[in-house]
C-alpha cells in the first residue's frame, strides 16, 4: 500500500510578489514564447511599460515616447509627469501599488490593477527605473525582481518623465528575439489611437494625423469600394469601409489605447450596430453575414475602470462605459444609429455602393449554399478526426477549449506524406498539438473562386479542421504551422498552401496565425555529443567544436527524422518563422507576382535568384 503523503505546516509557503510572478508567469502575461508570435510574452512586457507612458499622454502630460531595442535590451523613455520620487521603488515592486486606483490622476487608463510594471521587473534579469521630476531624479535597479541599487534623490537638468530599462530573462523566454515588425505594428497602433503623440523606435518616427482613418488606410489589403467613413464622438471613434476582394470581415478594436486583439463587448456592439443601421436604412431584413461581408472597420472607446478577461487585456469584458452608467452595447449602438445613418443619408453614392455589395454577397452566399451543405457532408463521411486530422486532446469530440489561455497554446501542423506526418504525430504533445496530413501537392488556387474550397477535398477538410468557414471567431488552433521538407517539392507545397490562405483566408495571415516550421538540415555528432544544425554555418561551427571527423547527417525530409529526435524540434525550443505581409505590398500584389502569369518581371526575378537543386545540395553539404 502506498504511503500517505504528509500534509503539515511545513507544506505551507508564502511567496514574495516576485517569486509568485516567476513561478506562474502565465497568470500575468499569458503565454511565454520566443518572440516569433505577436502575443508572446516579451511583447506583453514591452506593452505593459508603454501603457504607462501612453496613460501619461492621455492625461495631457508628454507628447513624445522613445523606444530603443538592441541585443535583447529595451529602453522606454517618456516625458510625462514622472513617477513621484518617493514612490519609485514601490510602484515597480509592490503589488497593488500605483496611481491607477485614483480616478482623479488616471481617469481612463489601461493599467488598473497595479501588476504590469511589477511583472516586467520580476521577469527580467535587469530592470532599472529612473524618474525625473521637479528638477530632481531618482533611480533604482533590480535583478530578477530583487532590489540591488537604490540611489538617493539627486539634482537633475533632464526633462521630466520616466525611463525604464529591462532585459527579459532568457531562462523564462527561451531563445527570445524581438521581431521589429511586431514592435512597429504595436507602435503604429499607439500612434493611430493618439493623434498628436510622436513615438520613436530606434530613431524611426511613428505619428498619425487622422487616427483610425489612417489605420485602415495603411492596412488595406487591396482596393476599397468607397471612401473610408470616419466617425468621431466623445469617448468613441469608428472608421469603416468595404474591401473590394476580401471574403469575410476584419476588425481592429481598442479600449483606452489597448489593442483588444480578441475583441469583446465593444467589438460585438460594433458588428451588431452595423447590421442594425443597414437594415433600418435600406428597410430590408438582410442576413447579417451579407451586411458584414467585406467590412473592414476599427473602433476605439474610452471606458472608466475597464474590465478585461485576462491580465494581458486582449478582450474587453466590461458591460458599462463606467460603473453604473450606460451599457457599452447601447453606447456604441446609439452612436452608430445616429452618425452612420446620417453619413449614409448625406452620401447617397456610398449608400448605393454598399447596397450593391450586400446584394452581391447575398447572391454569392445562396449560390454556395448547396455546395457548402454537400461539402459538410463529405467532411463528415471522410471521418475527419480519424483519417486526415490527428487532433489534440483540447479539441477531441469537437469540444471547444474551456479556457482562453488553453486556446493560445494549440497548434496544427500541416504536413505532406505518411512518413512526415507519422514522425510528427508520434513525437507531438498530444494535449495541444494536432497534425493534418495532406495527400500530394495541393491545388494552385490562385484566381479561383471560393467554390473551389468546398469542391476540393483537401481544402474542404483543412477548412473544416480549422473551423474557419465563417471567419476566425472560432478558429480551433492559435498556431497554424506548415511543416514540409526542405527541398524543392517541399517549398512548392509551402507556396501553394500560403496561396490558399492568402486567397481565401487572408485574415489568418494578417492576424499572425500562420507559420513555417524550421527543422534542422544537419545532425553532427560524436560519441559524447549531438548537435542539430539549421544552417550550413551552424554545421561548420559544430564540426569545429566536436573535434576531428564527427558523423554528419543531412536530413533531406521530415520522414528521415525519427520521432525520438523530432520531439526536440517541436517542443519548447520549436523554431517557427511567421508568415507576414509587408506594409509595402498587398496580398494581391504577392499572389499576382508569384502565382500569376509568367511575366518578364518574374522571369527576371527567377533568373537572378536561380539555384538549381543540385547546386543547393552541394552548398548545404560543403
CATH number at residue 397: 3.40.50.670
Segment 56-59 long-range contacts (CB within 8 Å, at least 24 positions apart): 56/80, 56/81, 56/161, 56/162, 57/194, 57/197, 58/108, 58/109, 58/194, 58/256, 58/257, 59/105, 59/106, 59/107, 59/109
Q: What is the mean pLDDT of residues 6-33?
A: 67
pLDDT at 622: 55
Q: Which of 378, 249, 280, 270 is nearest to 316 (CA)?
A: 270
Q: Which of 338, 348, 323, 308 is nearest to 238 (CA)?
A: 338
Which pLDDT band holds residue 342 (cuts at 50, 70, 90)?
Answer: very high
pLDDT at 246: 66
More confident residue, 188 or 613: 188
Whether residue 337 is found in the same domain as residue 401: no
Whether residue 433 is found in the same domain as residue 423: yes
Q: What is the pTM of this model?
A: 0.79
Share of the chain above pLDDT 90, in %: 45
In the chain, the number of structural domains is 4
Q: Using one digit for the tens of pLDDT, what is the confidence trace for 50-69?
A: 989 988 998 889 999 999 99
Share of the chain above pLDDT 70, in %: 83
Within 8 A by CB and 6+ apart from 175, the residues are 34, 573
Whether residue 172 is found in the same domain as residue 219: no
Whether residue 515 is found in the same domain as residue 526: no
More confident residue, 30 or 156: 156
Which pLDDT band holds residue 446 (cuts at 50, 70, 90)?
Answer: confident
Q: What is the mean pLDDT of residues 611-619?
A: 50
pLDDT at 333: 95
**Grid cell at residue 614:** 543540385
Q: Using one digit for the tens of pLDDT, what is the confidence trace for 371-385?
A: 877 777 777 666 555
Domain assignment present for 369: no
pLDDT at 573: 80
Domain assignment present for 342: yes
Angstrom distance (rounded) from CA 617 to CA 622: 9
**Grid cell at residue 177:** 528575439
Angstrom distance (rounded) from CA 472 to CA 117: 32
> Residue 592 above 90 pLDDT?
no
Domain finish residue from 300, 333, 364: 364
**Cβ atoms 382, 420 nearer than 8 A:** no
Whether residue 159 is found in the same domain as residue 266: no
Q: What is the mean pLDDT of residues 457-465?
A: 89
**Grid cell at residue 245:** 476582394
pLDDT at 262: 81
More confident residue, 556 or 359: 359
Q: Using one digit for the tens of pLDDT, what is the confidence trace for 275-284?
A: 999 999 999 9
Which pLDDT band holds residue 105 (cuts at 50, 70, 90)?
Answer: very low
Domain assignment present for 291: yes
Which pLDDT band holds residue 614 (cuts at 50, 70, 90)?
Answer: very low
Whether residue 59 is found in the same domain as residue 158: yes
pLDDT at 457: 86
Domain assignment present for 93: yes
Question: Measuring CA to CA, how many Å separate 62 from each of 78, 95, 194, 276, 577?
Answer: 7, 26, 12, 40, 37
pLDDT at 229: 97
More confident residue, 217 or 396: 217
Within 8 A by CB and 6+ apart from 219, the residues are 252, 296, 510, 583
Domain assignment present for 614: no
Domain assignment present for 316: yes
- Sign of CA pseudo-dihedral 528, 534, 540, 545: negative
Which pLDDT band holds residue 453 (cuts at 50, 70, 90)?
Answer: confident
pLDDT at 536: 87
Whether residue 326 is found in the same domain as residue 429: no
Q: Using one digit for the tens of pLDDT, what is the confidence trace for 69-103?
A: 999 999 999 999 999 999 999 899 877 554 444 44
Calculated CA dihedral for residues 568, 572, 574, 578, nearest 10 degrees? 170
pLDDT at 586: 67
Domain assignment present for 48: yes
In the predicted model, what is the mean pLDDT of the chain?
84
pLDDT at 101: 42
pLDDT at 128: 96
Quickly tell me which residue has 528575439 as its cell: 177
> Residue 597 above 90 pLDDT?
no
Domain assignment present for 224: yes
pLDDT at 374: 78
CATH number at residue 241: 3.30.230.10
> Residue 508 above 80 pLDDT?
yes
CATH number at residue 43: 3.30.565.10
> Residue 258 above 50 pLDDT?
yes
Whether residue 107 is found in the same domain as residue 177: yes
Which pLDDT band holds residue 552 (cuts at 50, 70, 90)?
Answer: very high
Whether residue 201 is found in the same domain as residue 241: no
Q: Which of 331, 362, 224, 342 is nearest to 280 (CA)?
A: 342
pLDDT at 46: 95
Angstrom distance (rounded) from CA 152 to CA 444: 67
pLDDT at 415: 92
> Residue 599 above 80 pLDDT?
no
Q: Using one digit for the tens of pLDDT, what is the confidence trace for 407-418?
A: 678 999 999 877
Residue 334 has a CB neighbour count (10 Å cut-off) of 14
Whether residue 262 is found in the same domain as residue 403: no
Residue 187 has a CB neighbour count (10 Å cut-off) of 20
Whether residue 245 is found in the same domain as residue 197: no
Domain finish residue from 206, 232, 257: 206
More confident residue, 210 or 101: 210
More confident residue, 610 or 331: 331
Question: Measuring CA to CA, how many Å separate 219 from each of 33, 259, 298, 580?
Answer: 26, 15, 11, 13
**Residue 543 Cα to chain centre, angstroms:** 38
Angstrom distance (rounded) from CA 353 to CA 293: 13
Whether residue 417 is found in the same domain as residue 352: no
Helices (H), 456-577: 457-466, 488-504, 506-510, 536-546, 563-569
pLDDT at 312: 60
545: domain range?
A: 520-554
Domain finish residue from 206, 223, 251: 206
**Residue 82 zone, left/alpha/beta (φ > 0; ψ -120 to 50; rest):** left
pLDDT at 419: 78
Amino acid at each position: 500500500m502506498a504511503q500517505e503523503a504528509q500534509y503539515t505546516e511545513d507544506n505551507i509557503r508564502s511567496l514574495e510578489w516576485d517569486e509568485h510572478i516567476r513561478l506562474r508567469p502565465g497568470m500575468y502575461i499569458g503565454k511565454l514564447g520566443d518572440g516569433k508570435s505577436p502575443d508572446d510574452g516579451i511583447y506583453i512586457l514591452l506593452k505593459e511599460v508603454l501603457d504607462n507612458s501612453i496613460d501619461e499622454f492621455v492625461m495631457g502630460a508628454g507628447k513624445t515616447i522613445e523606444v530603443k531595442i538592441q541585443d535583447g535590451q529595451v529602453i522606454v523613455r517618456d516625458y510625462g509627469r514622472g513617477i513621484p520620487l518617493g514612490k519609485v521603488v514601490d510602484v515597480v515592486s509592490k503589488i497593488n501599488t500605483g496611481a491607477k486606483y485614483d480616478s482623479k490622476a488616471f481617469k481612463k487608463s489601461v493599467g488598473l490593477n497595479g501588476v504590469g510594471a511589477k511583472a516586467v521587473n520580476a521577469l527580467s534579469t535587469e530592470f532599472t527605473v529612473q524618474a525625473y521630476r521637479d528638477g530632481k531624479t531618482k533611480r533604482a535597479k533590480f535583478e530578477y525582481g530583487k532590489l540591488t541599487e537604490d540611489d538617493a534623490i539627486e539634482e537633475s537638468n533632464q526633462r521630466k518623465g520616466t525611463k525604464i530599462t529591462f532585459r527579459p530573462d532568457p531562462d523564462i523566454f527561451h531563445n527570445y528575439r524581438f521581431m521589429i515588425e511586431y514592435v512597429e505594428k504595436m507602435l503604429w497602433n499607439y500612434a493611430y489611437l493618439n493623434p498628436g503623440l510622436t513615438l520613436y523606435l530606434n530613431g524611426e518616427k511613428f505619428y498619425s494625423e487622422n487616427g483610425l482613418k489612417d489605420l485602415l488606410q495603411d492596412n488595406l489589403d487591396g482596393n476599397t469600394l468607397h471612401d473610408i467613413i470616419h466617425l468621431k464622438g466623445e469617448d468613441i471613434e469608428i472608421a469603416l469601409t468595404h474591401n473590394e476582394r476580401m471574403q469575410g470581415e476584419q476588425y481592429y478594436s481598442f479600449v483606452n489605447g489597448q489593442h483588444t486583439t480578441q475583441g469583446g463587448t465593444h467589438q460585438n456592439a460594433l458588428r451588431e450596430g452595423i447590421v442594425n443601421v443597414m437594415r433600418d436604412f435600406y428597410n430590408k431584413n438582410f442576413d447579417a453575414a451579407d451586411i458584414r461581408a467585406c467590412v473592414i472597420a476599427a473602433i476605439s472607446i474610452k471606458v472608466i475602470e475597464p474590465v478585461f478577461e485576462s491580465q494581458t487585456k486582449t478582450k474587453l469584458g466590461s458591460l458599462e462605459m463606467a460603473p453604473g452608467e450606460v451599457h457599452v452595447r447601447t453606447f456604441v449602438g446609439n452612436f452608430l444609429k445616429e452618425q452612420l445613418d446620417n453619413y449614409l443619408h448625406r452620401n447617397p453614392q456610398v449608400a448605393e455602393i454598399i447596397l450593391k455589395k450586400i446584394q452581391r454577397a447575398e447572391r454569392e452566399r445562396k449560390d454556395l449554399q448547396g455546395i457548402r451543405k454537400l461539402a459538410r457532408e463529405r467532411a463528415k463521411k471522410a471521418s475527419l478526426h480519424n483519417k486526415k486530422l490527428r487532433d489534440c486532446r483540447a479539441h477531441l469530440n469537437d469540444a471547444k477549449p474551456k479556457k482562453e489561455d488553453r486556446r493560445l497554446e494549440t497548434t496544427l501542423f500541416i504536413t505532406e506524406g505518411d512518413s512526415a506526418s507519422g514522425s510528427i504525430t508520434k513525437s507531438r504533445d498530444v494535449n495541444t498539438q494536432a497534425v493534418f496530413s495532406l495527400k500530394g501537392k495541393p491545388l494552385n488556387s490562385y484566381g479561383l473562386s471560393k467554390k473551389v474550397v468546398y469542391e476540393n477535398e483537401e481544402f474542404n477538410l483543412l477548412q473544416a479542421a480549422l473551423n474557419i468557414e465563417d471567419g476566425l471567431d472560432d478558429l480551433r488552433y492559435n498556431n497554424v504551422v506548415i511543416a514540409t521538407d526542405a527541398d524543392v517539392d517541399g517549398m512548392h507545397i509551402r507556396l501553394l498552401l500560403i496561396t490558399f490562405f492568402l486567397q481565401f483566408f487572408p485574415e489568418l495571415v494578417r492576424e499572425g496565425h500562420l507559420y513555417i516550421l524550421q527543422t534542422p538540415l544537419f545532425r553532427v555528432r560524436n560519441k559524447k555529443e549531438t548537435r542539430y544544425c539549421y544552417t550550413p554555418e551552424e554545421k561548420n561551427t559544430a564540426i569545429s567544436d566536436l573535434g576531428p571527423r564527427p558523423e554528419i547527417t543531412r536530413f533531406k525530409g521530415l520522414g528521415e527524422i525519427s520521432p525520438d529526435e523530432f520531439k526536440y524540434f517541436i517542443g519548447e525550443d520549436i523554431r517557427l518563422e511567421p508568415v507576414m505581409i509587408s506594409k509595402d505590398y498587398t496580398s494581391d500584389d504577392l499572389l499576382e507576382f508569384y502565382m500569376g502569369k509568367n511575366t518578364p518581371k518574374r522571369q527576371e526575378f527567377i533568373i537572378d535568384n536561380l539555384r538549381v537543386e543540385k547546386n543547393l545540395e552541394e552548398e548545404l553539404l560543403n
